[in-house]
Protein backbone atom coordinates (compact mmCIF):
# COMPACT_ATOMS: atom_id res chain seq x y z
CA UNK A 1 0.00 0.00 0.00
CA UNK A 2 1.38 3.36 -1.05
CA UNK A 3 1.96 6.04 1.60
CA UNK A 4 0.23 9.31 0.82
CA UNK A 5 2.22 12.49 0.29
CA UNK A 6 0.59 14.01 3.34
CA UNK A 7 1.74 11.15 5.58
CA UNK A 8 5.29 11.47 4.24
CA UNK A 9 5.35 15.21 5.01
CA UNK A 10 4.09 14.66 8.55
CA UNK A 11 6.66 11.89 9.10
CA UNK A 12 9.48 14.13 7.87
CA UNK A 13 8.35 16.91 10.21
CA UNK A 14 8.54 14.52 13.16
CA UNK A 15 12.01 13.46 12.01
CA UNK A 16 13.12 17.11 12.01
CA UNK A 17 12.09 17.27 15.66
CA UNK A 18 14.60 14.51 16.43
CA UNK A 19 17.30 16.49 14.63
CA UNK A 20 16.51 19.57 16.73
CA UNK A 21 17.34 17.96 20.08
CA UNK A 22 19.78 15.34 18.80
CA UNK A 23 19.00 11.72 18.06
CA UNK A 24 20.75 10.41 21.19
CA UNK A 25 18.80 12.69 23.53
CA UNK A 26 15.49 12.63 21.68
CA UNK A 27 13.81 9.82 23.61
CA UNK A 28 15.15 10.82 27.03
CA UNK A 29 14.40 14.54 26.74
CA UNK A 30 11.09 14.53 24.92
CA UNK A 31 9.29 11.27 25.67
CA UNK A 32 7.09 12.56 28.49
CA UNK A 33 6.34 15.87 26.79
CA UNK A 34 5.46 14.24 23.50
CA UNK A 35 3.05 11.85 25.20
CA UNK A 36 1.18 14.84 26.58
CA UNK A 37 1.23 16.96 23.43
CA UNK A 38 1.41 14.54 20.52
CA UNK A 39 -2.36 14.38 20.10
CA UNK A 40 -2.60 18.17 20.07
CA UNK A 41 0.22 18.42 17.52
CA UNK A 42 -1.33 15.75 15.31
CA UNK A 43 -4.66 17.58 15.45
CA UNK A 44 -2.88 20.79 14.39
CA UNK A 45 -1.07 19.09 11.50
CA UNK A 46 -4.33 17.50 10.38
CA UNK A 47 -5.81 20.99 9.93
CA UNK A 48 -2.98 21.98 7.57
CA UNK A 49 -3.23 21.52 3.82
CA UNK A 50 -0.45 19.80 1.91
CA UNK A 51 1.09 23.09 0.63
CA UNK A 52 1.18 24.34 4.22
CA UNK A 53 2.92 21.16 5.39
CA UNK A 54 5.46 21.60 2.59
CA UNK A 55 6.11 25.19 3.71
CA UNK A 56 6.52 24.05 7.30
CA UNK A 57 9.01 21.37 6.32
CA UNK A 58 10.97 23.81 4.15
CA UNK A 59 11.11 26.41 6.93
CA UNK A 60 12.18 23.89 9.58
CA UNK A 61 14.84 22.25 7.42
CA UNK A 62 16.37 25.57 6.33
CA UNK A 63 16.04 27.19 9.76
CA UNK A 64 14.02 30.03 8.33
CA UNK A 65 16.12 30.76 5.25
CA UNK A 66 13.49 29.18 2.99
CA UNK A 67 9.78 28.63 3.38
CA UNK A 68 9.30 32.27 4.31
CA UNK A 69 5.55 32.40 3.73
CA UNK A 70 3.00 32.31 6.54
CA UNK A 71 1.31 29.06 7.56
CA UNK A 72 -1.99 30.45 8.87
CA UNK A 73 -4.59 28.45 10.75
CA UNK A 74 -7.99 29.79 11.73
CA UNK A 75 -8.33 30.63 15.41
CA UNK A 76 -10.06 27.74 17.17
CA UNK A 77 -11.26 27.32 20.73
CA UNK A 78 -8.35 25.12 21.72
CA UNK A 79 -6.74 25.05 25.13
CA UNK A 80 -3.26 25.11 23.56
CA UNK A 81 -2.24 27.55 20.83
CA UNK A 82 -1.16 25.79 17.62
CA UNK A 83 1.71 28.21 17.01
CA UNK A 84 3.04 27.50 20.51
CA UNK A 85 2.97 23.76 19.79
CA UNK A 86 4.81 24.26 16.50
CA UNK A 87 7.41 26.59 18.02
CA UNK A 88 7.98 24.19 20.92
CA UNK A 89 8.25 21.16 18.69
CA UNK A 90 10.52 22.54 15.96
CA UNK A 91 12.39 25.39 17.56
CA UNK A 92 12.30 25.91 21.34
CA UNK A 93 11.62 22.76 23.40
CA UNK A 94 11.66 24.88 26.57
CA UNK A 95 8.77 27.12 25.42
CA UNK A 96 5.71 26.96 27.69
CA UNK A 97 3.30 29.88 27.14
CA UNK A 98 2.06 31.97 24.23
CA UNK A 99 2.91 35.22 26.02
CA UNK A 100 6.61 34.31 25.75
CA UNK A 101 6.39 34.75 21.97
CA UNK A 102 6.48 37.85 19.80
CA UNK A 103 5.52 37.85 16.14
CA UNK A 104 8.18 38.86 13.63
CA UNK A 105 7.39 42.14 11.83
CA UNK A 106 7.06 40.57 8.39
CA UNK A 107 4.46 37.98 9.43
CA UNK A 108 1.26 38.75 7.53
CA UNK A 109 -1.24 36.52 9.35
CA UNK A 110 -4.61 38.21 9.87
CA UNK A 111 -6.14 38.78 13.35
CA UNK A 112 -8.57 35.93 12.65
CA UNK A 113 -5.77 33.42 12.14
CA UNK A 114 -2.49 32.48 13.74
CA UNK A 115 0.73 31.75 11.86
CA UNK A 116 2.27 28.36 12.66
CA UNK A 117 5.58 28.99 10.91
CA UNK A 118 8.00 28.76 13.87
CA UNK A 119 10.41 31.15 12.14
CA UNK A 120 7.78 33.89 12.14
CA UNK A 121 8.12 34.11 15.92
CA UNK A 122 10.75 35.08 18.47
CA UNK A 123 11.03 34.62 22.22
CA UNK A 124 10.92 37.84 24.21
CA UNK A 125 14.09 38.34 26.21
CA UNK A 126 13.38 39.77 29.65
CA UNK A 127 15.90 42.45 30.63
CA UNK A 128 14.73 42.47 34.27
CA UNK A 129 16.81 39.44 35.20
CA UNK A 130 19.75 38.97 32.80
CA UNK A 131 21.63 35.74 33.48
CA UNK A 132 25.23 35.99 34.70
CA UNK A 133 27.71 36.95 33.44
CA UNK A 134 25.81 39.52 31.42
CA UNK A 135 24.53 41.54 34.39
CA UNK A 136 27.15 43.79 35.88
CA UNK A 137 24.99 45.87 38.21
CA UNK A 138 21.91 45.20 40.36
CA UNK A 139 18.76 45.92 38.37
CA UNK A 140 16.21 48.42 39.61
CA UNK A 141 12.68 47.33 40.31
CA UNK A 142 10.63 47.91 37.17
CA UNK A 143 7.13 49.26 37.14
CA UNK A 144 4.37 47.60 35.14
CA UNK A 145 4.50 50.30 32.46
CA UNK A 146 8.17 49.47 31.85
CA UNK A 147 7.43 45.89 30.82
CA UNK A 148 7.15 44.57 27.32
CA UNK A 149 3.51 44.13 26.29
CA UNK A 150 3.95 40.40 25.77
CA UNK A 151 5.33 39.78 29.27
CA UNK A 152 3.12 38.94 32.23
CA UNK A 153 3.53 40.97 35.43
CA UNK A 154 5.65 39.38 38.15
CA UNK A 155 3.69 37.20 40.51
CA UNK A 156 0.86 36.76 38.04
CA UNK A 157 -0.53 33.30 37.63
CA UNK A 158 0.29 31.41 34.50
CA UNK A 159 -2.39 30.63 31.99
CA UNK A 160 -4.64 27.85 33.16
CA UNK A 161 -4.58 24.89 30.81
CA UNK A 162 -8.37 24.86 30.85
CA UNK A 163 -8.69 28.48 29.75
CA UNK A 164 -8.94 29.27 26.07
CA UNK A 165 -6.02 31.19 24.59
CA UNK A 166 -8.21 31.85 21.56
CA UNK A 167 -10.72 33.73 23.71
CA UNK A 168 -7.89 35.91 25.04
CA UNK A 169 -6.61 36.47 21.53
CA UNK A 170 -10.00 37.64 20.26
CA UNK A 171 -10.57 39.84 23.27
CA UNK A 172 -7.19 41.54 23.01
CA UNK A 173 -7.01 41.93 19.23
CA UNK A 174 -9.01 45.13 19.02
CA UNK A 175 -7.90 46.51 22.38
CA UNK A 176 -4.24 46.12 21.45
CA UNK A 177 -4.71 48.12 18.28
CA UNK A 178 -6.66 50.93 19.94
CA UNK A 179 -4.30 51.11 22.90
CA UNK A 180 -1.30 51.25 20.60
CA UNK A 181 -2.88 54.04 18.56
CA UNK A 182 -3.64 56.01 21.71
CA UNK A 183 -0.20 55.49 23.24
CA UNK A 184 1.68 55.88 20.24
CA UNK A 185 2.86 58.67 18.27
CA UNK A 186 4.62 59.67 21.43
CA UNK A 187 8.04 58.33 20.64
CA UNK A 188 8.01 58.59 16.86
CA UNK A 189 6.62 62.02 16.17
CA UNK A 190 8.22 63.94 13.34
CA UNK A 191 8.12 64.40 9.60
CA UNK A 192 7.57 61.22 7.60
CA UNK A 193 10.73 61.77 5.54
CA UNK A 194 12.94 62.19 8.61
CA UNK A 195 14.89 59.08 9.66
CA UNK A 196 13.90 57.74 13.07
CA UNK A 197 17.30 56.06 13.33
CA UNK A 198 20.75 56.39 11.78
CA UNK A 199 23.05 53.35 11.77
CA UNK A 200 26.84 53.34 11.92
CA UNK A 201 28.69 50.06 11.28
CA UNK A 202 31.97 49.63 13.14
CA UNK A 203 34.82 47.14 12.85
CA UNK A 204 37.07 47.59 15.87
CA UNK A 205 37.64 51.36 16.13
CA UNK A 206 36.96 52.09 12.46
CA UNK A 207 33.60 53.09 11.04
CA UNK A 208 32.92 51.22 7.81
CA UNK A 209 30.90 52.94 5.08
CA UNK A 210 28.59 55.94 5.41
CA UNK A 211 25.85 56.45 7.98
CA UNK A 212 22.64 54.65 7.00
CA UNK A 213 19.33 56.49 7.62
CA UNK A 214 16.29 54.35 8.50
CA UNK A 215 12.88 55.75 7.54
CA UNK A 216 10.65 52.69 7.25
CA UNK A 217 9.32 50.97 10.40
CA UNK A 218 11.63 47.98 10.13
CA UNK A 219 14.96 47.05 8.60
CA UNK A 220 17.06 43.90 8.18
CA UNK A 221 20.77 44.22 8.93
CA UNK A 222 22.58 41.22 7.50
CA UNK A 223 25.97 40.11 6.26
CA UNK A 224 24.53 37.83 3.59
CA UNK A 225 25.13 38.89 0.00
CA UNK A 226 21.48 38.43 -0.98
CA UNK A 227 19.61 40.49 1.60
CA UNK A 228 16.07 39.74 0.47
CA UNK A 229 13.15 40.51 2.80
CA UNK A 230 11.87 37.33 4.49
CA UNK A 231 8.31 37.67 3.21
CA UNK A 232 6.29 39.63 0.71
CA UNK A 233 3.33 40.38 2.98
CA UNK A 234 4.49 42.35 6.02
CA UNK A 235 2.34 42.99 9.06
CA UNK A 236 0.16 46.05 8.68
CA UNK A 237 0.91 46.27 4.96
CA UNK A 238 4.03 48.37 5.56
CA UNK A 239 7.03 47.21 3.57
CA UNK A 240 10.56 47.41 4.87
CA UNK A 241 13.15 49.40 2.98
CA UNK A 242 16.00 47.50 1.36
CA UNK A 243 18.04 45.56 3.87
CA UNK A 244 21.32 47.03 5.05
CA UNK A 245 24.00 44.70 3.70
CA UNK A 246 27.10 44.83 5.87
CA UNK A 247 28.77 42.68 3.23
CA UNK A 248 28.51 45.57 0.76
CA UNK A 249 29.89 48.02 3.30
CA UNK A 250 32.80 45.71 4.11
CA UNK A 251 33.76 45.43 0.44
CA UNK A 252 34.24 49.20 0.33
CA UNK A 253 36.77 49.04 3.16
CA UNK A 254 40.30 49.86 2.03
CA UNK A 255 42.29 48.75 5.09
CA UNK A 256 43.22 45.06 5.53
CA UNK A 257 40.73 42.91 7.44
CA UNK A 258 42.02 41.47 10.71
CA UNK A 259 41.51 37.79 11.50
CA UNK A 260 39.11 38.44 14.41
CA UNK A 261 36.95 40.64 12.18
CA UNK A 262 36.88 38.03 9.39
CA UNK A 263 35.82 35.29 11.83
CA UNK A 264 33.02 37.43 13.24
CA UNK A 265 31.79 38.49 9.80
CA UNK A 266 31.39 34.82 8.87
CA UNK A 267 29.09 34.28 11.87
CA UNK A 268 26.72 37.23 11.41
CA UNK A 269 24.61 35.45 8.78
CA UNK A 270 21.03 36.75 8.71
CA UNK A 271 21.94 39.27 11.38
CA UNK A 272 19.24 41.26 13.15
CA UNK A 273 15.97 42.98 12.34
CA UNK A 274 15.22 46.41 13.81
CA UNK A 275 11.61 47.41 14.39
CA UNK A 276 10.20 50.75 15.48
CA UNK A 277 7.06 50.21 17.53
CA UNK A 278 4.84 52.55 19.50
CA UNK A 279 6.37 51.32 22.75
CA UNK A 280 9.98 51.54 21.60
CA UNK A 281 12.59 49.96 19.36
CA UNK A 282 12.90 46.17 19.17
CA UNK A 283 15.79 44.01 17.99
CA UNK A 284 15.17 40.50 16.65
CA UNK A 285 18.22 38.23 16.54
CA UNK A 286 17.98 36.16 13.34
CA UNK A 287 21.61 35.05 13.48
CA UNK A 288 22.75 31.64 14.69
CA UNK A 289 24.94 33.34 17.29
CA UNK A 290 24.18 35.70 20.15
CA UNK A 291 24.25 39.48 19.91
CA UNK A 292 25.12 41.80 22.78
CA UNK A 293 23.35 45.06 23.52
CA UNK A 294 23.68 48.16 25.68
CA UNK A 295 20.98 50.81 25.91
CA UNK A 296 20.31 53.72 28.30
CA UNK A 297 16.71 52.57 28.85
CA UNK A 298 17.67 49.01 29.81
CA UNK A 299 19.39 50.40 32.91
CA UNK A 300 18.46 52.86 35.61
CA UNK A 301 19.37 56.54 35.18
CA UNK A 302 22.04 56.47 37.90
CA UNK A 303 24.33 53.69 36.63
CA UNK A 304 27.85 54.69 35.66
CA UNK A 305 28.34 51.97 33.05
CA UNK A 306 25.59 50.40 30.99
CA UNK A 307 24.83 46.70 31.46
CA UNK A 308 25.67 44.41 28.55
CA UNK A 309 22.70 42.17 27.71
CA UNK A 310 22.91 39.05 25.59
CA UNK A 311 20.13 38.35 23.08
CA UNK A 312 20.34 34.64 22.10
CA UNK A 313 19.51 33.41 18.59
CA UNK A 314 15.77 33.54 17.92
CA UNK A 315 15.11 36.00 20.75
CA UNK A 316 13.89 39.60 20.66
CA UNK A 317 14.46 42.48 23.05
CA UNK A 318 13.02 45.97 23.35
CA UNK A 319 16.30 47.85 23.34
CA UNK A 320 14.86 51.35 23.63
CA UNK A 321 11.77 52.53 25.48
CA UNK A 322 10.39 55.92 24.38
CA UNK A 323 8.55 56.62 27.63
CA UNK A 324 11.45 55.66 29.85
CA UNK A 325 13.79 57.78 27.72
CA UNK A 326 11.54 60.80 28.31
CA UNK A 327 11.56 60.18 32.06
CA UNK A 328 15.32 59.74 32.13
CA UNK A 329 15.80 63.10 30.42
CA UNK A 330 14.51 64.70 33.61
CA UNK A 331 16.92 62.77 35.84
CA UNK A 332 20.49 63.88 36.61
CA UNK A 333 23.02 61.54 35.02
CA UNK A 334 26.17 60.45 36.84
CA UNK A 335 29.45 60.68 34.98
CA UNK A 336 30.12 57.64 32.80
CA UNK A 337 33.38 55.74 33.12
CA UNK A 338 33.31 54.97 29.40
CA UNK A 339 33.58 58.55 28.17
CA UNK A 340 30.89 60.60 26.38
CA UNK A 341 27.33 59.40 26.93
CA UNK A 342 24.48 59.63 24.39
CA UNK A 343 21.03 59.03 25.98
CA UNK A 344 19.59 58.05 22.57
CA UNK A 345 22.28 55.65 21.35
CA UNK A 346 22.13 51.84 21.34
CA UNK A 347 25.13 49.60 20.72
CA UNK A 348 24.74 46.11 19.22
CA UNK A 349 27.72 43.76 18.97
CA UNK A 350 27.65 40.63 16.83
CA UNK A 351 28.93 37.42 18.47
CA UNK A 352 31.29 39.11 20.97
CA UNK A 353 30.48 40.72 24.31
CA UNK A 354 32.50 43.37 26.11
CA UNK A 355 33.08 44.75 29.57
CA UNK A 356 34.55 43.42 32.86
CA UNK A 357 33.32 39.86 32.24
CA UNK A 358 34.89 39.59 28.81
CA UNK A 359 38.34 39.76 27.29
CA UNK A 360 37.27 42.87 25.38
CA UNK A 361 36.86 45.81 27.71
CA UNK A 362 35.80 48.59 25.33
CA UNK A 363 33.50 48.91 22.32
CA UNK A 364 36.51 49.84 20.18
CA UNK A 365 37.75 46.25 20.60
CA UNK A 366 34.58 44.70 19.14
CA UNK A 367 35.15 43.02 15.74
CA UNK A 368 31.72 43.93 14.30
CA UNK A 369 29.17 46.21 15.92
CA UNK A 370 26.32 48.60 15.14
CA UNK A 371 25.67 52.00 16.66
CA UNK A 372 22.01 53.03 16.51
CA UNK A 373 21.59 56.80 16.77
CA UNK A 374 17.90 57.26 17.54
CA UNK A 375 15.91 60.43 17.05
CA UNK A 376 15.17 61.84 20.51
CA UNK A 377 11.60 61.11 21.66
CA UNK A 378 9.10 63.95 21.78
CA UNK A 379 8.77 65.40 25.26
DSSP characters over 236-265: GGPPPPPPEEHHHHHHT--SPPPHHHHHHH
Is the model's pLDDT at 48 over the cut of 50? yes
Q: What is the mean pLDDT of residues 50-64?
A: 92
Looking at the domain assignment, is residue 181 inside a domain? no
Share of the chain above pLDDT 90, in %: 45
pLDDT tens digits, one per residue of 114-169 = 999 999 999 999 875 444 444 333 333 333 333 333 445 444 433 333 334 554 55
Higher-confidence residue of 31 and 9: namely 9
pLDDT grade for 235, boundaries at 50, 70 and 90: low
User: What is the number of domains present in the chain?
Assistant: 2
Q: What is the distance between the alpha carbons of residues 124 and 314, in angstroms, rounded to a whole number?
A: 9
pLDDT grade for 21, boundaries at 50, 70 and 90: low
Higher-confidence residue of 189 and 70: namely 70
Residue 119 makes CB contacts below 8 A (sequence gap 6+) with 59, 63, 64, 67, 68, 91, 104
The mean of the pLDDT values for the chain is 78
How many Å from the N-terminal Cα to the C-terminal Cα in the chain? 71
Range of the domain at 295: 186-374
Same domain for 196 and 118? no
Q: What is the distance between the alpha carbons of residues 339 and 353, in angstroms, rounded to a whole number?
A: 19
Share of the chain above pLDDT 70, in %: 70
Is the model's pLDDT at 24 over the cut of 50? no
Higher-confidence residue of 227 and 323: namely 323
At residue 2, the pLDDT reads 54
Same domain for 196 and 332? yes
Domain ends where: 124, 139, 155? 124
Q: What is the mean pLDDT of residues 297-305?
A: 82
Same domain for 352 and 246? yes
Looking at the domain assignment, is residue 161 inside a domain? no
Domain ends where: 124, 153, 171? 124
H runs (alpha helix) in 142-195: 165-183
Same domain for 213 and 71? no
At residue 190, the pLDDT reads 54
At residue 312, the pLDDT reads 96
Looking at the domain assignment, is residue 137 inside a domain? no
Q: What is the CATH number of the domain that holds 195?
A: 2.60.200.10
Closest CA to 121 of 105, 108, 104: 104
Residue 370 makes CB contacts below 8 A (sequence gap 6+) with 199, 200, 201, 202, 221, 272, 347, 348, 349, 350
At residue 38, the pLDDT reads 77
Q: What is the distance between the alpha carbons of residues 186 and 279, in angstroms, rounded to a whole number?
A: 9
Same domain for 27 and 106? yes
pLDDT tens digits, one per residue of 188-225 = 555 567 899 999 999 999 999 999 999 999 999 999 87
At residue 363, the pLDDT reads 92
Same domain for 112 and 224? no
Same domain for 194 and 335? yes
pTM of the model: 0.80
Q: List Cα–Cα distances, 226 to 58, 66, 70, 198, in angstroms.
A: 19, 13, 21, 22
Is the model's pLDDT at 243 over the cut of 70? yes
At residue 41, the pLDDT reads 84
At residue 254, the pLDDT reads 84
Q: What is the distance between the alpha carbons of residues 109 and 103, in angstroms, rounded to a whole number?
A: 10
pLDDT tens digits, one per residue of 258-276 = 999 999 999 999 999 999 9
pLDDT tens digits, one per residue of 354-363 = 988 889 999 9
Amino acid sequence: MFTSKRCKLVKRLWEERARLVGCDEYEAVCALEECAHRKAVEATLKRMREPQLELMLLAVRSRGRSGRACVPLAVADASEAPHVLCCRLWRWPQLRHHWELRRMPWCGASPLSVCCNPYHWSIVQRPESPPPPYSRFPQESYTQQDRAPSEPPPGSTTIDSDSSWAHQKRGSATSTGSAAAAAGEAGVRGHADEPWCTIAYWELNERVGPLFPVRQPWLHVTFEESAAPPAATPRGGVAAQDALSLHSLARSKTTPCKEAVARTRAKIGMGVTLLRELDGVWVYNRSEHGVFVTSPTLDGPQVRNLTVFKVPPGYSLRVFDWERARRYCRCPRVASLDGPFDPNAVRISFVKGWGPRYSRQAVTALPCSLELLLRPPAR
